[in-house]
């Protein structure tokens, strides 16, 4: 039998080749799944761990605390938590003056209000939520600057 000459432009993937590929997959699929599945699960776990580390680094928190900061205001919540820790440290500092402790007390009250604002903004329409987040970010910038000044940095 003579082979047919390949015609230029002939399709590489024909219906016959597709049927053959499906037949091979039906035979090899059940045998390969138990072998490949553990590697796929392990790869998915590693990918999730890498992504969690990336998110935690982006927010400036540890991976263990990543679950506490979710939603669209997660970055602002993380900033508030860090600023609150800084205010508590300032209040406990031996070098803190009475104005420093008063600032820390007032700042902690403001931070509680800002945190409530971010939680409320989660349910707002996008334009209002973004506006609220910008306002909170501006207030956080101001408080961070004052805290760093009081810490002598």
Look up residue 85 and give its two tokens: 């820790």
Q: How far is CA 106 from CA 77, 99, 101, 143, in A?
A: 18, 10, 9, 10
- Give the pLDDT confidence of 35-74 residue by residue, as tens digits: 889 999 999 999 999 999 999 999 988 999 988 888 899 9
pLDDT tens figures, 73-131: 999 999 999 999 999 988 888 888 889 889 999 999 999 999 999 999 999 999 999 99
pTM of the model: 0.70
| Side-chain-facing half-sphere of 139: CA atoms under 13 Å | 20
């Amino acid at each position: 039998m003579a082979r047919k000459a390949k015609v230029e432009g002939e399709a590489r993937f024909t219906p016959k080749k597709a049927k053959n590929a499906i037949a091979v997959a039906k035979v090899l699929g059940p045998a390969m799944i138990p072998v490949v599945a553990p590697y796929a699960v392990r790869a998915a776990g590693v990918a999730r761990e890498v992504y969690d580390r990336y998110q935690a680094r982006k927010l400036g928190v540890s991976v263990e605390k990543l679950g506490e900061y979710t939603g669209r205001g997660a970055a602002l919540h993380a900033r508030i938590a860090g600023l609150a820790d800084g205010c508590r440290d300032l209040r406990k500092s031996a070098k803190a003056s009475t104005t420093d402790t008063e600032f820390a007390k007032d700042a902690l009250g403001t931070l509680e209000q800002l945190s409530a604002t971010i939680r409320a903004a989660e349910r707002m329409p996008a334009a209002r939520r973004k506006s609220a987040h910008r306002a909170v970010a501006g207030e956080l910038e101001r408080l961070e600057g004052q805290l760093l000044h009081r810490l002598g940095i």
